[in-house]
Amino acid sequence: MSNLIRRACQRFPIESSAELDTPKAKGIVTILTDVSAGGAGVVANVPLETMEKVEVLIKSCFLFESCLRKKARVVWCRDLGTGLWQAGLDFGIDKLTAFA
């Protein structure tokens, strides 16, 4: 499936730090690789569970005036084979992924 069909919002590449809080762990340091109104891509040193609800703290001072905290859902996670995992986060902007 092409990115044009799969993505509702245009993503912008970025290299910045972010932290994730999951039900099992707090303050997981990640690298933010891309961001959009609908979600973000991250790289972490721990695997994230698909469909797990997380809270992401984006620390990029040039994107926002202050840190941005968003609720998200992990939609996919893959092992990069180097002790790192790449994951896609969905901020739930449409009714199919909205949070209760």
pLDDT digits (tens, 9 = 90+) for 37-59: 889 999 999 999 999 999 999 87
Structure tokens, 36: 């959009």
Number of independent structural domains in the chain: 1
Which residues of the chain register pLDDT less than 70?
1-8, 60-65, 93-100
Is 95 domain-assigned? no
The residue range of the domain holding 64 is 3-90
Assigned domain for 67 exists: yes
- Domain CATH for 10: 2.40.10.220
